[in-house]
């Protein structure tokens, strides 16, 4: 793709827009319609999470025993669950859980992974070999067992779920970032930094890390959707966030399955919320990947 | 080539040893053990601390860690997995049927995924940036976004409401009753296959796009070859390798990673066994399972690398 030529052309066309920021957004939307849809969904999730306490029609934890398993109506747009809690409000509040765990896990996994990847590429030799072998072990280890073990050791709860989800992401990110960092390692500016007698820490953090930011960003956005899915799976198994917290995976568990025939809204809407949010993050991530580095493909 | 194969096989040993150490230690860090877990479910059997200690002694849990580890390794060396700490049955017996179920499900899902992914990916690549391409991309990204357990719930729900029919809930091996077996497993295979096919399609599309820009494709077109022939003879052969990688990696993952889908369809596969084994603190069973899945993963990885050299004459391993 002749990205640079296109960009230049676009730049010339929008030489002096009145609102440069707005023009950039409009430009992105026109060139990457799918990416714009993704960005819109991401924005929607973020806004829902940020303003949950203002826009949710009901308290997500409040039981209304008069309206248990009520079908969608004007009062409860998406119906209520087995405890008479409003499904819409729980979905809105659930976006907080999804975003917290998703952002936390992907940031933690990507930053730890990239640090290991860059360090191992920088030192090469024995350090690199050892790091690679350790990563191989984690690779061969079944993801779900790793997550189960972390939860079993530390207990359930949002913080531990973040840790459990981030753990399997570390080696994957380390492997991709290491490959890019190996190329950066050969750059003259790294030689120059070494010749100037900078400490290892400074070269790794200030000279190498910023130059492998593109693959790191791409990995982090790809992880975000996956983390939200994993959180939902863990919560669905009862190993993630615990009741009565509003979380999408949790809403699909228990009563949602039991009463699936008589109250299908309990099983349908939270799953739809998961799919739409992850769909948005993936679309957005895809376009970001194309924009940042068309050569790099992680999937 | 022979030397390379030997080197790769030998390199599996330290990785597996690392996996063994990791799972061994992880399990011992998890609070509680099998005796306590059993005490919690069937309390009356263990009235006193003494009885519990006796039970631990019987299972060898009182020995120092290094002794437990070497005893386990000694057993593994001649493929003896030992007894399950929870049921006291031989682990091979515990795993056998469940492995058959997981393997069959994984095979079915990969067949579905491969049969869809390759044509869809090629189609999207040839029709790049048309509505067909967009439709395929939306279909695949939605596949990555839809949790397979939710898709499974929807399938069951749909069949229940529309056809008043639920898939059988008891697993029968395919050699006993193929019809019942397929009626049960086709649904989870479809639910899982969707995501799986999405991963494959995306890979197929992007490698195909890359290959279609190569000079030899232009040459083939310039000399007036049929598009169909170019695609199957020239392009597909070169574009298929990375697709092969993701499909086999995903296959290895399916064997042990289907916990949630198995739960939705009430299947007793390896995934549910993992959850049970860990919650029972059944050290021996969990360890055996992890080693099994890790070995499978490494062997598939290895097989893919060999397949690369076999399919692509440009690749030589030393």
How confident is the model over A40-63, as pLDDT tens digits? Answer: 999 999 999 888 888 888 888 877
Give the chain B residue whose CA is nearest to the CA of A136.
B15
Give the chain B residue whose CA is nearest to the CA of A132.
B15
Q: Domain spanning B91-311: which CATH class is it, in words?
A: mainly alpha
Q: Inspect the interface and report whether the beta carbons of A133 and B275 lie closer than 8 Å.
A: no
For residue A86, the SS3 value is strand
Q: What is the mean pLDDT of residues A268-283?
A: 91
Q: Inspect the interface and report whether the beta carbons of B157 and A267 lie closer than 8 Å.
A: yes
Give the chain A residue whose CA is nearest to the CA of B161.
A261
Per-residue pLDDT reduced to its tens digit, A155-212: 877 888 899 889 888 988 998 889 888 888 888 998 899 899 999 999 999 889 888 8
Phi, psi dihedral angles at B146 (to 5 degrees):
-85, 120
pLDDT (0 to 100) of residue A296: 45
Closest CA to A143 of B252, B109, B94: B252
CB of B25 less than 8 A from some CB of A: no
Q: Inspect the interface and report whether the beta carbons of A233 and B31 lie closer than 8 Å.
A: no
B199 → closest Cβ in A237, A264, A299: A299
Phi, psi dihedral angles at A80 (to 5 degrees):
-125, 165
Rounded distance between C-alpha atoms, residue A116 and residue B87, angstroms: 41
Give strand pairing partners of B90.
Answer: B83
pLDDT (0 to 100) of residue B69: 87
Q: Rounded to 5 degrees, what angle do the CA atoms B83, B86, B88 make? A: 35
Neighbours of B314 (CB within 10 A): 7
CB of B131 less than 8 A from some CB of A: no
Q: For A135, which DSSP code?
A: H
Q: Inspect the interface and report whether the beta carbons of A140 and B16 lie closer than 8 Å.
A: yes
Q: Inspect the interface and report whether the beta carbons of B18 and A252 lie closer than 8 Å.
A: no
Q: Inspect the interface and report whether the beta carbons of A153 and B26 lie closer than 8 Å.
A: yes
pLDDT (0 to 100) of residue A297: 44
- For residue A243, give every residue at least 6 positions away whose Cβ sits within 8 Å of its Cβ, in sequence order, or none: A250
Q: For A153, which DSSP code?
A: H
What stretch of H or E contains B252? helix B236-257
When pLDDT is cut at 50, 70 and 90, the band that residue A110 belongs to is very high
The structure tokens 């006796």 sit at B54
**Structural domain spans, chain B:** 91-311
Phi, psi dihedral angles at B142 (to 5 degrees):
-65, -35
Distances (CA, A) of B222 to A293, B216, B217, B269: 31, 10, 8, 53
- Largest alpha-carbon pair distance within chain B? 87
Rounded distance between C-alpha atoms, residue A104 and residue A102, angstroms: 6
CB of A297 less than 8 A from some CB of B: yes
Considering only CB atoms, which chain A residues are within 8 Å of B142?
A: 275, 279
When pLDDT is cut at 50, 70 and 90, the band that residue A31 belongs to is confident
Considering only CB atoms, which chain B residues are within 8 Å of A45?
A: none
Neighbours of A264 (CB within 10 A): 19
Considering only CB atoms, which chain A residues are within 8 Å of B297?
A: 139-140
Q: Which of B22, B34, B102, B144 to mutate to test the interface with A (most CBs of A within 10 A)?
A: B144
Q: Inspect the interface and report whether the beta carbons of A136 and B15 lie closer than 8 Å.
A: yes
pLDDT (0 to 100) of residue A13: 58
Q: Inspect the interface and report whether the beta carbons of A299 and B22 lie closer than 8 Å.
A: no
Considering only CB atoms, which chain A residues are within 8 Å of B153?
A: 252, 256-257, 260, 267, 271
Gyration radius of chain A's alpha carbons: 23
CA distance B82 to chain A (A): 20
pLDDT (0 to 100) of residue A298: 38
Q: For A204, which DSSP code?
A: I
Q: What is the mean pLDDT of residues A70-88?
A: 81
pLDDT (0 to 100) of residue B28: 86
Give the chain A residue whose CA is nearest to the CA of B275.
A148
The structure tokens 């050791």 sit at A153
Q: Inspect the interface and report whether the beta carbons of A299 and B203 lie closer than 8 Å.
A: yes
CB of A148 less than 8 A from some CB of B: yes
CB of B19 less than 8 A from some CB of A: yes
Low-confidence ranges of chain B (pLDDT < 70): 42-47, 169, 315-318
Interface of A with B in 187-226 (CB under 8 A): 225
Give strand pairing partners of A86.
Answer: A80
pLDDT (0 to 100) of residue A299: 35
Alpha-carbon dihedral sign for residues A196, A201, A204, A205: negative
Give strand pairing partners of B83.
Answer: B90
Q: Inspect the interface and report whether the beta carbons of A279 and B141 lie closer than 8 Å.
A: yes
CA distance B315 to chain A (A): 20
Q: Inspect the interface and report whether the beta carbons of A153 and B259 lie closer than 8 Å.
A: no
CB of B29 less than 8 A from some CB of A: yes
Rounded distance between C-alpha atoms, residue A27 and residue B274, angstroms: 49
Rounded distance between C-alpha atoms, residue B255 and residue B258, angstroms: 7
pLDDT (0 to 100) of residue A140: 84
When pLDDT is cut at 50, 70 and 90, the band that residue A293 belongs to is low
Give the chain A residue whose CA is nearest to the CA of B31.
A153
Q: Which of B23, B129, B150, B169 to mutate to test the interface with A (most CBs of A within 10 A)?
A: B150
Interface of A with B in 161-190 (CB under 8 A): none
Rounded distance between C-alpha atoms, residue B111 and residue B97, angstroms: 21
Rounded distance between C-alpha atoms, residue A5 and residue A11, angstroms: 10
Q: According to DSSP H, which parts of chain A are helical? A: 3-13, 20-31, 33-50, 52-55, 87-123, 125-140, 143-154, 158-185, 188-195, 200-202, 213-236, 248-251, 255-258, 265-292
Phi, psi dihedral angles at B92 (to 5 degrees):
-60, -40
pLDDT (0 to 100) of residue A103: 93
Q: What is the mean pLDDT of residues A64-83?
A: 79
Give the chain A residue whose CA is nearest to the CA of B296.
A140
- For residue B75, give every residue at least 6 positions away whose Cβ sits within 8 Å of its Cβ, in sequence order, or none: B81, B82
Average pLDDT, chain A: 83
- B117: tokens are 């992914």
ipTM above 0.85, yes or no: no
Distances (CA, A) of B240 to B157, B204, B205, B209: 37, 7, 10, 12
**What share of chain A in percent tops pLDDT 70?**
91
Rounded distance between C-alpha atoms, residue B154 and residue B151, angstroms: 5
């Amino acid at each position: 793709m002749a990205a640079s030529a296109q960009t230049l052309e676009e730049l010339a066309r929008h030489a002096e827009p009145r609102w440069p920021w707005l023009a950039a957004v409009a430009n992105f939307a026109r060139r990457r319609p799918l990416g714009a849809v993704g960005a819109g969904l991401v924005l929607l999730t973020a806004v829902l999470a940020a303003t949950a306490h203002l826009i949710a029609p009901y308290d997500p934890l409040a039981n209304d025993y008069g309206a248990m398993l009520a079908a969608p109506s004007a009062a409860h747009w998406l119906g209520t669950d087995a405890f008479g809690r409003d499904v819409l409000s729980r979905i809105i509040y659930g976006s907080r859980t999804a975003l917290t765990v998703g952002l936390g896990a992907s940031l933690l996994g990507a930053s730890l992974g990239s640090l290991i990847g860059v360090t191992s590429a920088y030192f090469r030799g024995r350090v690199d070999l050892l790091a690679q072998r350790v990563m191989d072990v984690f690779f061969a280890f079944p993801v779900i067992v790793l997550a189960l073990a972390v939860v079993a050791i530390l207990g359930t709860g949002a913080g531990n779920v973040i840790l459990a989800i981030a753990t399997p992401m570390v080696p994957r990110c380390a492997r991709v970032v290491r490959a890019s960092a190996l190329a950066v390692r050969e750059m003259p500016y790294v030689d120059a930094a070494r010749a100037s007698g900078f400490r290892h820490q400074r070269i790794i953090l200030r000279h190498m890390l910023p130059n492998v930011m593109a693959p790191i960003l791409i990995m982090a956005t790809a992880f975000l959707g996956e983390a939200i899915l994993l959180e939902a799976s863990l919560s669905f198994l009862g190993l993630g966030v615990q009741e009565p917290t509003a979380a999408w995976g949790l809403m699909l568990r228990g009563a949602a399955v039991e009463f699936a025939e008589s109250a299908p809204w309990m099983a349908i809407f939270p799953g739809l919320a998961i799919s739409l949010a992850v769909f948005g993050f993936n679309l957005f991530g895809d376009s970001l990947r194309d924009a940042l580095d068309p050569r790099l493909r992680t999937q | 080539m022979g030397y390379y194969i030997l080197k790769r096989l030998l390199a599996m040993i330290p990785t597996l040893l690392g996996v063994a150490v990791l799972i061994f230690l992880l399990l011992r860090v998890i609070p509680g053990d099998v005796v306590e877990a059993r005490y919690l479910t069937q309390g009356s059997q263990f009235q006193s601390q003494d009885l519990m200690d006796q039970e631990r002694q019987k299972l060898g849990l009182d020995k120092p860690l290094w002794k437990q580890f070497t005893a386990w390794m000694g057993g593994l060396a001649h493929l003896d997995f030992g007894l399950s700490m929870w049921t006291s049955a031989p682990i091979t017996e515990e795993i056998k049927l469940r492995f058959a179920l997981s393997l069959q499900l994984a095979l079915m899902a990969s067949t579905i995924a491969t049969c869809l992914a390759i044509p869809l990916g090629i189609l999207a690549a040839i029709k790049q940036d048309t509505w067909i391409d967009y439709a395929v991309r939306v279909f695949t990204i939605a596949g990555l976004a839809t949790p397979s357990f939710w898709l499974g719930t929807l399938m069951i729900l749909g069949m229940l409401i529309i056809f008043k029919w639920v898939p059988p809930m008891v697993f029968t091996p395919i050699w006993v009753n193929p019809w019942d077996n397929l009626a049960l497993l086709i649904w989870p295979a479809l639910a899982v296959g969707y995501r799986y096919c999405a991963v494959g399609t995306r890979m197929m599309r992007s490698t195909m796009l890359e290959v279609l820009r190569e000079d030899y494709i232009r040459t083939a077109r310039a000399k007036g070859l049929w598009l169909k022939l170019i695609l199957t003879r020239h392009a597909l052969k070169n574009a298929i390798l990375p697709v092969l990688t993701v499909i086999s990696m995903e296959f290895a993952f399916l064997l042990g990673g289907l916990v949630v889908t198995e739960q939705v369809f009430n299947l007793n596969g390896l995934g549910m066994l993992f959850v049970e084994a860990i919650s029972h603190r059944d050290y021996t069973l969990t360890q055996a399972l992890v080693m099994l899945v890790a070995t499978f993963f490494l062997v598939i990885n290895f097989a893919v690398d060999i397949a690369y050299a076999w399919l692509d004459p440009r690749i030589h391993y030393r």
